Amino acid sequence: MYAQGDVLLVPVKAVKPPMTGVKLATPDDPVILAKGETTGHRHAFYNRVAMFRDDALARAAHVPETLYIGHVVVAPGGDVLEHGAAQGLAGDHDALTIPAGTYIARRQQEYPLRESARIVND
């Protein structure tokens, strides 16, 4: 698993992406997993990544709907998950090198003492 702020990437078996609704990352049009509520920084891939949503696959993997961002397919050679205002602009989390594979991208939860679980704000 790979965690960066409020985003968690969980490796899963490779799945066939749908015929429509797939977003491919490019330097000019990145795949953005989440935007920070506090800083405005974004968790984004800028290269060899495709993302799609499949709610049925997420439910089969026991990911609650409120936490599911999407499925991420990282091409051979891997890619870097950056956190900042734009590509190459460092945010408050280190960039992560993510190896090739298929992942479920989801929001992280925190469990404060004596409180219910809540989504992490970044």
d(CA 94, CA 59) in angstroms, rounded, equals 30
The confidence score (pLDDT) of residue 94 equals 81
* Domain range enclosing 90: 2-119
Q: What is the pLDDT of residue 86?
A: 66
pLDDT at residue 90, as a whole number: 65
Number of domains in the chain: 1
pLDDT for the residue 5: 83
DSSP string, 20-34: S--EE--SSS-EEEE
Report helix, strand and coil shares of the chain as percent, to nearest 5.
5, 40, 55
Q: What are the per-10-residue average pLDDT scores of the chain (122 residues)? A: 92 89 93 82 92 92 92 96 74 85 90 68 68
Q: What is the pLDDT of residue 31?
A: 96
Cβ-contact 6, 121 below 8 angstroms: yes
pLDDT at 122: 66
